[in-house]
Amino acid sequence: MILVHDRLYVLTPEKTIVNYTVAGISARIGAHLVDLLICFGATIAISLLVSVVGWVIPEGLLALFMGLFITFGIFAYFILMEAYCQGQTLGKRSAGIRVLMSDGTPITPRAAMLRNLLRLGDFMPMLYMTGIISIMVNQRAQRLGDMFADTVVVRTSRKIEGFSAAPHRAGIHPLEHTIGDLGGMTLAEYIAIKRLCDRFPYLPQPEQVRSIQSIWIPFAEEKGIHMLPDKHPIYQMEAVVMKYGRLHKLV
């Protein structure tokens, strides 16, 4: 990945160059302020709830609960939202930015946890300034948590209008009957197709077409998969990922 002006260029394992617009400092600060307001509001709401039920719960237990919530609740908010909401907290969504792995794939739960381990610095003025300086001087506009987790913050890309990829984490895809038994499929092929499925909705349309032609069509022809004229290729690709992952206990 290289940075040219405000664009990040990623050479993917499928030999496709993908580019993203780096999120600006103002957008990131704005998103963080929104998230802090949300966390502050949640803290007030929990405090009011605790005051209501305080008469039936021992004071020491209430104090312990509030201490744990204030200490870990904010971190849990950032980690869970980024891990399971496409790299976006509510603040990031309002600012039109998201977190990705540095190779352009969606952020993993592990990376979401790692990048937020240093979130404590965002609540300390001197360390917060250090984070801002880090974003300004780092080649990939990363703060310390991003460098630790190998993540980047970018502007959200508009998905194909009217298109959303099928989930492929687990389960049985309705098109699995169209892809055969996948005999001879290798782990490397699985990884290549899964990575393409993960980033496909966010690729510019020319790169979507090029990726299908260079990765999916040769694979389908080799495995004898009949491509459906009335279905977008991504759905059969997802079916391949789901079936192979389930058969080989990868999901």
Q: Which residue has the tokens 């965002």?
A: 122
Give the CA-trace dihedral at 196, 201, 204, 205, to 10 degrees. 90
Q: Record the pTM.
A: 0.65
Report pLDDT digits (tens) over 11-65: 665 555 667 788 888 898 899 899 989 988 988 888 777 777 666 667 667 677 7
pLDDT at position 24 is 83
pLDDT at position 202 is 73
pLDDT digit of tens for each residue in the chain (251 aa)?
A: 555 556 676 666 555 566 778 888 889 889 989 998 998 898 888 877 777 766 666 766 767 777 777 778 888 999 999 999 989 999 999 999 999 988 778 899 999 999 988 776 655 555 556 667 777 777 777 888 898 899 999 988 655 545 555 566 667 889 999 999 998 999 989 988 988 888 887 777 888 888 899 999 999 999 999 999 998 999 999 999 999 998 888 86
pLDDT at position 110 is 93
- In 3D space, the residue among 213, 218, 212 whose CA is nearest the CA of residue 235 turns out to be 212
**Helices marked H in the chain — which ranges?**
25-53, 59-68, 74-84, 90-95, 109-117, 125-137, 144-149, 187-199, 205-211, 217-223, 233-247
